[in-house]
């Protein structure tokens, strides 16, 4: 589980900014539910963060930074001369020449690790992995600009043999991390394997383009699919839908049939590239609705409401996060889902969560009025006058505090003043009126 993630000189993050999963110890009420956190090594690590802020304040960029870190850690570039992706802060004169610095503090089976990497326009400059307890070095990677070489110093917490240390160091090129090079080798190190697997399998960013819903509901693992169906149908019933079942059917179309029907060559070529077997495979998802008058009726997913599909998709994502013991980021979690249904789903997640975490970005501020919300689980994203993102968190967690009202008053108070300015909206009206007059004059 993650303790803290730091970002410096990445997109809207100029100075070091911390996304902390630490819960407050200043509780003044025993009614706050403990399922919000897991205690490890005396630290309370939150299972859910709610990230709020106006559009453009950096919520999505924070999530993409964690995904960027994951990519740097596990993906070794195939071209040894290629430059790494570099996404610095661009709204000043200096940051674009400075490196991006990312770090993550996390626990693997109760063992704490600290990982830090520095990436410039040209290369991976530095990389460090340490065990938190005792600050014991696993390895430290550095780049010598004078010699143009990469060196790796292995510490006492690294369990590689001397010969395998030399093999690994020789494979670390200037645009690759030690862990990404290790991932390509068959070397015997439990410490490095555990850390590589942690980034590869337990850190994720949920994207809307990820796999179709039908593919998520019918996989190559029937046992997993049965578990998902059981909990999904219960959720759909509890949130008030009349869906009692769903079906996923496999269909296939020979590309030869497309050719016979006169499909354009460019379409046929694209299909052959995507389906080299010559068979287009597709899954159809249908939901079974139980009605009083007509009985059970099957509807294609395409005619279901956006809200229903969003609930199903979110539940599947959460199941995989819980079962996979992941730390995942979900952007705009409320899209298409009613506030009450979303609150129910989040409470359901907390009731089943164990060694997992979710950071969600939302514009649904009504969640801040949720009766059992831990206020210290809220992260408030804001920007200063220089376009730099910073994050605030509230330490006071007592439930008598009306956090929603307080936050709404403090976030962009200037917008509230503008909303009350009738003359300002009259100016917009006059502008459009002028445009319409100009258009009417321009007509022949």
pLDDT tens-digit series, residues 103-159: 999 999 999 999 999 999 999 999 999 999 999 999 999 999 999 899 999 999 999
Report residue 310: phi and psi, to 5°: -65, -40
Residue 185 pLDDT grade (very low, low, confident, very high; cuts 50, 70, 90):
very high
- Least confident interval from 79-93, 340-354, 401-415: 401-415
Is residue 254 predicted with pLDDT exceeding 60? yes
- Least confident interval from 28-32, 46-50, 392-396: 28-32
Pull the structure tokens for residue 94. 């200096």
Residue 401 pLDDT grade (very low, low, confident, very high; cuts 50, 70, 90):
low
Is residue 67 predicted with pLDDT exceeding 90? yes
126 exposure class (CB count in 10 Å sphere: 0-12, 13-18, 19+): middle
- Least confident interval from 110-124, 288-302, 367-381: 367-381
Cα(76)–Cα(181) distance, integer angstroms: 6
Report residue 50: phi and psi, to 5°: -110, 115
DSSP H or E run through 243: strand 243-254
In the DSSP assignment, the letter for residue 10 is B
- Least confident interval from 206-215, 247-256, 348-357: 206-215
Is residue 400 predicted with pLDDT exceeding 60? no
Residue 275 pLDDT grade (very low, low, confident, very high; cuts 50, 70, 90):
confident
User: 399 with 31: CB under 8 angstroms?
Assistant: yes
Average pLDDT over the chain reads 90
The pLDDT, as a whole number, for residue 29 is 56
């Amino acid at each position: 589980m993650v303790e803290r993630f730091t970002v410096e000189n990445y997109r809207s993050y100029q100075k070091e900014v911390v996304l902390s999963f630490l819960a407050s110890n200043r509780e003044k009420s025993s009614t706050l539910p403990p399922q919000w956190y897991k205690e490890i090594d005396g630290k309370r690590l939150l299972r859910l963060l709610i990230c709020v802020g106006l559009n453009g304040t950096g919520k999505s960029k924070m999530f993409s930074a964690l995904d960027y870190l994951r990519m740097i850690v596990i993906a070794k570039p195939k071209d040894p001369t290629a430059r790494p992706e570099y996404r610095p802060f661009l709204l000043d004169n200096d940051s674009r020449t400075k490196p991006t610095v990312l770090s993550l503090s996390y626990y693997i089976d109760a063992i704490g690790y600290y990982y830090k990497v520095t990436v410039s326009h040209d290369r991976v400059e530095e990389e460090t992995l340490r065990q938190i307890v005792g600050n014991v070095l696993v390895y430290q990677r550095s780049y010598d600009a004078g010699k143009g070489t990469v060196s790796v110093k292995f510490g006492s917490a690294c369990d590689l043999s001397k010969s395998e240390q030399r093999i690994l160091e020789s494979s670390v090129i200037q645009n690759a991390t030690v862990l990404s090079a290790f991932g390509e080798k068959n070397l015997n190190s439990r410490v490095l394997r555990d850390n590589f697997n942690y980034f590869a399998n337990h850190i994720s960013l949920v994207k809307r383009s990820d796999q179709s819903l039908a593919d998520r509901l019918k996989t190559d693992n029937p046992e997993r699919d049965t578990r998902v169906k059981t909990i999904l149908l219960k959720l759909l019933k509890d949130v008030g839908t009349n869906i009692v079942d769903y079906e996923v059917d496999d269909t296939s179309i020979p590309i030869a049939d497309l050719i016979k029907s006169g499909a354009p060559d460019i379409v046929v070529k694209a299909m052959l590239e995507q389906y080299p077997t010559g068979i287009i495979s597709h899954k159809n998802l249908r939901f079974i609705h139980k009605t009083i008058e007509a009985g059970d009726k099957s509807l294609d997913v395409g005619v279901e409401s956006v809200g229903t599909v969003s609930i199903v998709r979110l539940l599947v994502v959460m199941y995989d996060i819980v079962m996979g013991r992941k730390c995942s980021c979900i952007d705009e979690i409320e899209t298409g889902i009613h506030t009450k249904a979303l609150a129910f789903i989040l409470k359901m997640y907390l009731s089943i969560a164990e060694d997992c975490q979710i950071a969600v970005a939302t514009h649904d501020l009504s969640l801040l009025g949720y009766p059992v919300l831990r206020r210290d689980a809220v992260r408030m994203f804001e920007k200063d006058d220089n376009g730099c993102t910073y994050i605030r968190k509230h330490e006071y967690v007592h439930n008598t505090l009306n956090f929603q009202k307080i936050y709404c008053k403090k976030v962009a108070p200037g917008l509230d003043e503008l909303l009350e300015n009738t003359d300002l909206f009259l100016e917009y009206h006059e502008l459009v009126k002028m445009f319409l007059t100009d258009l009417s004059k321009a007509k022949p």
